[in-house]
Structure 1
Amino acid sequence: MGVDGVFRAKKGKVVMSLLLASALLVTACGGKSGEAQDPKGNASADTKEISLLRPSWNNLRPASSELWMWQEYEKMSGIKVKWEELTDIGEKKNVILTRGDLPDAFYQVDWSNGELLKYGQQGLFLPLEELFKEHAPNLQKYLEENEDVRKGLTSADGHIYATPYIDPYPEGNRTIRLWINKKWLDNLGMEVPKTTAELEEALMAFVTKDPNGNGVNDEQGWYMPSGSLGWTFEQMMMGSFGIGNGGRKALGNFIYVDDNDEIQLTITADGYKELLKYENRMYKNGAINKQAFSGVDYDKWTADAAKDTVGAWNWAAIDYIGESVKDDFVAINVLAGPDGDTASLTDSQVAGASSLVVTKDAKDPGAILKWVDYFYSEEGSVFGYLGKEGVTYNVEDGKKVYIDEILNYKDGIGLGAFQYVDNVYGGYFPYIELSPEVRAAAGRKEAPVYTDLTEETLPSVMLPDLPATIQEANESSSIIADVGNYVGQMRVEFVTGTKDIDKEWDNYIAQLKKMGSDKYLEIKQTQYKRYKES
């Protein structure tokens, strides 16, 4: 069983069983300290430098070569890294592959499953699954004990071309949740909603009963930067309308897993039609902000929030709305829908499937994997996020807490830590994320406890990006570009009421079929079968 499925009750609260301690007790680096190894496992004393290409964060912190963490890890590992850091790497990465000499590996670069397979089959990226067994014992052990992670990394040809960014904790940033203004609920004598009907009632009260008490009708119901509705609120509500099983990546690809363990399209489902009607009704009544689709950027939204005018919004973490009002909100992970359905909007624990990719020009792939494998140990996770005791953190009452220079950094704790350690900003690090409790304690905070996020309310399946052949990737990408644009356009028209949902639904479905939605579904069903059989 993977970490996702392991929960235990404690004093009425649901907490994650901390398997990492037992699952990751393999030592970080096999062999003698400081020695690299070649792919065959032979000691290679002359391999002391590797080259890694990564995104640049130098506008926010020191260059990697100057960062305390990497200088310290060079002493610990005996391996010096020659860093190449580029801005806009997403636009440049494919051009880089045409260079005469490639870096030994790409670090923290986002490659799609299709790209990993394409360049792997061209021989530019090395298959790693056999090398893991010799040179990455921590990661190998995790893959053996978490089949969903192994499946999520396996390409359509059966190879694994990258090491992952793993987040075992659904109560952390893997889940997009609804945040509702608890202060306003208290002022109105209302309870935190548990159903979609109760949410609608609460948001209607927010916009009609002056819950902020200023005598001005300035309150908004659900309100976020324009364009957020479809991939935040709407996707979360899919779980309430019976089409949310499969997790965030699945819903982002317009698919879900039905009760028969088959892939279906969300955007053609009866549940989606009912969800659009729900959104349309709330938009019409003002419970969803009238600028949901245009006119509001992040700065305007946070400025409005600071004026106590925001009733509800969606995100993983409370900090997104700003310091001044964040304590006014409480989280809702699931809402029971009209038929009692619930499923949280939670991602696979494979938070990134291409965190470190080894290239054909790597002189010693085994040494690179040995170097990165440390970060798949418990000790390595602590080092990547917190650093070292007495240097970047101290222990207070048994908890690891950042030093004052980090806690008091002018731009906040996260960027303060980023001046010393790497695995706190930007995501896609090749490592296993620490628990929300440990991360919160680092800033002298407590992690929230969600009583509504349980094994029963999580999706029964949380899919990674499904493995695609090159042909499938090409076919589906051309279909989804047209379908995505059309669905976005029709969402605006259906929710705002420009088009009647009942009258236009058949035409909407017919247009999707014309664009290739049936073929897209067939491709995704094939990929899901391949994923389950891998």
Structure 2
Amino acid sequence: MKVQYKQAAAAGIMLLLAALGGCKKNEASASGSGQINLRVFQYEVENQQMDFPNLWFFQELEKKTGVHIEWEPVKDGDWTTRLNLMFASMDLPDIIRTGDVDIEEYGVTQGLLVALNDYLEPNMPNYYSRLFMNEANKAMPASDGKMYWIGGLIAQNINHDGSHYINKAWLDKLGLAVPKTIDELTDVLKAFRDRDPNGNGLKDEIPFSAGDLIHQTQGLYTHFANFGVPLQRYVYAVIQENSKLVFPGNMDGFRPALEWLAMCYREGLLDMESITQDSNAWGIKMNAGLVGYTTYLRLINTALSPDIAAQYESILPPAGKYGVSVPRLLEVPNVDAVLTTANKHIPESLKWLDAQFETETMMIAYNGPIQPGGPIDPTMKINNQGKYEILYVPENNLLYKYVPVYHAMFFAPGDYYFNIFEMPPHRVERFNSSKQYADAGVLEPGSFTILNNLIKPSAEDSLEITRLYNEIDKLMQESIANFIRSGITDAGWLEFLNSGKSIGVDRYVALLQKAYDAYLTAK
């Protein structure tokens, strides 16, 4: 049965976060009696240096909850390796936060994660009150029917991750139009290389840059969409219009995409560091005014300085022979926290997590303070409609010095979120980009999110899918990087296809097809 968030218990809420700017009196909180120490294995985005122990938000939270956290932050690039080593060594933390965790492997199969079904309602009233809104709960059960994770969700009415951006200031200076096809884009990139669009007399322009190979917003994978291949790093299968799945490496546009990227690399159109550089290195080049074409999350409230962001314009992906197919994003919860079986304070841990889901606390964690007296001037207010409204967004990602922002506990399905929040300009920007893509019909027919989040393979099948995915992911990353750097020969291409068959691409797609067919039947 659905439970509205306003029905959550009110016990102790005024004690929780007065220093954080107040609380909703009809929501639950944790009290601060006695100190409990918890060890948290915490994901950290690559382009931010977070000081979790000294973050104003967490210091205030500790005062009010009596829970002390020993933080173990891990950067995005190191996450998978460090996580797997941690499980292999059995040196388990109490809580794992934000980063991807293989729930089937470590929860269902190895039994190293806590099944939370019986704990949620009594210990997480704020979270539980929203769990069934917009059917958010349907993404959460594992193959054994148990919930091993706390969800993170920010409803935004968006449908894709990375948008394509062209340096409009450079186009205007050179008298060029926005490119609509791959051929037009190639001509534009050559003009960016040869005609000094930044006007400094140097050959320092980077016509085309990316922030690593696989990143979902600025990686090179995003540019396969221009050739009709919705390539992303989460699952190597694509739902076609006939509900049949296909391996992206077998799609008609995959090799042409590689050949175009290899040409760009060979002719100095593509930043030679794009395959390996992180978002920090990419951002430095962007903010130095050196980049002509790229993909990114949005322009407002990002790592880009306002004057640099103003140079760019959101465009539809320039189309190749096989059309455009951008990975379609569905707004479903992601893994935001799990508890390991080493945790001796399960109720207290869940109450600490739930304290962060109290409405105002959650909003502060992501957007900054609402009351005077905090570390910076209030960044939010309650407007005349009773909604939270952003007053301003501090430049240069200043919020990350005081509140967790991306790392915040946040669970806001649409029926809850749109009633409490006045969407700020950077959210409106992403919505408008999504509308642009939807209206143009450039999204993939299905959605990778279904295969990554909603289908429910058996525990045995899930284990095999994970094993095969790891082999395929290694093959894809190594092959794509090598093809871009060295070009493609018929012999090299045949070796790639044969390698895919030998490691089980067909079996991988068949297992996903089986689970997807069951998902369609159960809908």
Secondary structure of the structure 2 residue equivalent to 1:54: strand
Please, what TM-score do these two structures have when normalized by structure 1? 0.72
Q: Contact 2:113–2:339 (CA<8 Å) still a contact in 1?
A: yes
- Letter matched to residue 295 of structure 2: N
1:381 equivalent among 345, 358, 362:
362
How far off its partner does 1:262 sit? Answer: 2.9
Question: Cα 1:107–1:348, aligned 2, differ >3 Å: closer, same or farther?
Answer: same
Asked if 1:516 corresponds to 2:498, the answer is: no
User: Which structure 2 residues correspond to residues 382-421 of structure 1 after superposition, within 5 A?
Assistant: 382-385=363-366, 386-392=368-374, 393=378, 398=383, 399-401=389-391, 407=394, 414=397, 416-421=398-403
CA distance in 2 between partners of 1:144 and 1:57 (Å): 26
Superposed CA deviations along residues 493-521 of structure 1, whole A, max 9, x for unmatched, are: 443564325x6544432221012211222
2:308 equivalent among 302, 308, 325:
325
- Letter matched to residue 117 of structure 1: G
Question: Cα 1:354–1:325, aligned 2, differ >3 Å: closer, same or farther?
Answer: closer
Asked if 1:83 corresponds to 2:69, the answer is: yes
CA distance in 2 between partners of 1:323 and 1:45 (Å): 42
Superposed CA deviations along residues 42-62 of structure 1, whole A, max 9, x for unmatched, are: x99998655432146999566
User: What residue number does 2:107 align with?
Assistant: 117
Q: Contact 2:328–2:443 (CA<8 Å) still a contact in 1?
A: yes
Question: Cα 1:317–1:475, aligned 2, differ >3 Å: closer, same or farther?
Answer: same
User: What residue number does 1:7 align with?
Assistant: none
1:206 equivalent among 192, 201, 213:
192
How far off its partner does 1:311 sit? Answer: 1.1
1:454 equivalent among 431, 438, 441:
438
- Letter matched to residue 391 of structure 1: G
User: Which structure 2 residues correspond to residues 180-191 of structure 1 after superposition, within 5 A?
Assistant: 180-191=166-177
How far off its partner does 1:183 sit? Answer: 0.6
How far off its partner does 1:259 sit? Answer: 0.9
Q: Contact 2:228–2:253 (CA<8 Å) still a contact in 1?
A: yes
Superposed CA deviations along residues 118-170 of structure 1, whole A, max 9, x for unmatched, are: 46x63x433223544455455445442333x4333221111111101213226
CA distance in 2 between partners of 1:489 and 1:200 (Å): 25
User: What residue number does 1:16 align with?
Assistant: none
Superposed CA deviations along residues 302-334 of structure 1, whole A, max 9, x for unmatched, are: 555455432112222444456663332222354
Q: Contact 1:56–1:86 (CA<8 Å) still a contact in 2?
A: yes
User: What residue number does 1:252 align with?
Assistant: 234
Question: Cα 1:462–1:514, aligned 2, differ >3 Å: closer, same or farther?
Answer: closer
CA distance in 2 between partners of 1:307 and 1:394 (Å): 28
Question: Cα 1:488–1:421, aligned 2, differ >3 Å: closer, same or farther?
Answer: closer
Question: Cα 1:263–1:508, aligned 2, differ >3 Å: closer, same or farther?
Answer: same
CA distance in 1 between partners of 2:4 and 2:442 (Å): 28
Q: Contact 2:153–2:411 (CA<8 Å) still a contact in 1?
A: yes
Gaps of 5+ in 2: 17-28, 75-81, 384-388
User: Which structure 2 residues correspond to residues 338-349 of structure 1 after superposition, within 5 A?
Assistant: 338-343=321-326, 345=327, 347-349=329-331
How far off its partner does 1:282 sit? Answer: 3.8
User: What residue number does 1:273 align with?
Assistant: 255
Asked if 1:485 corresponds to 2:466, the answer is: no
- Letter matched to residue 101 of structure 2: W
How far off its partner does 1:33 sit? Answer: 4.7
Secondary structure of the structure 2 residue equivalent to 1:84: strand
Secondary structure of the structure 2 residue equivalent to 1:165: strand
Asked if 1:52 corresponds to 2:52, the answer is: no
Q: Contact 1:180–1:332 (CA<8 Å) still a contact in 2?
A: yes
Asked if 1:69 corresponds to 2:57, the answer is: yes
Q: Contact 2:164–2:294 (CA<8 Å) still a contact in 1?
A: yes
Asked if 1:495 corresponds to 2:476, the answer is: no
How far off its partner does 1:523 sit? Answer: 2.7
Superposed CA deviations along residues 468-503 of structure 1, whole A, max 9, x for unmatched, are: 5554455344444443333334324443564325x6
How far off its partner does 1:359 sit? Answer: 4.2
- Letter matched to residue 151 of structure 1: K
How far off its partner does 1:266 sit? Answer: 0.7
- Letter matched to residue 157 of structure 1: D
Aligned residues: 476
2:132 equivalent among 141, 144, 147:
144
CA distance in 2 between partners of 1:313 and 1:307 (Å): 14
Q: Percent identity?
A: 19
Question: Cα 1:232–1:269, aligned 2, differ >3 Å: closer, same or farther?
Answer: farther
CA distance in 2 between partners of 1:75 and 1:171 (Å): 37
Question: Cα 1:506–1:381, aligned 2, differ >3 Å: closer, same or farther?
Answer: same
Gaps of 5+ in 1: 1-21, 37-42
Secondary structure of the structure 2 residue equivalent to 1:261: coil
CA distance in 2 between partners of 1:384 and 1:287 (Å): 41
User: Which structure 2 residues correspond to residues 161-200 of structure 1 after superposition, within 5 A?
Assistant: 161-169=148-156, 171=158, 175-200=161-186
Superposed CA deviations along residues 18-48 of structure 1, whole A, max 9, x for unmatched, are: xxxx996435545565899xxxxxx999986
- Letter matched to residue 140 of structure 2: L
User: What residue number does 2:19 align with?
Assistant: none
Question: Cα 1:290–1:530, aligned 2, differ >3 Å: closer, same or farther?
Answer: same
CA distance in 2 between partners of 1:63 and 1:217 (Å): 42
Question: Cα 1:234–1:56, aligned 2, differ >3 Å: closer, same or farther?
Answer: closer
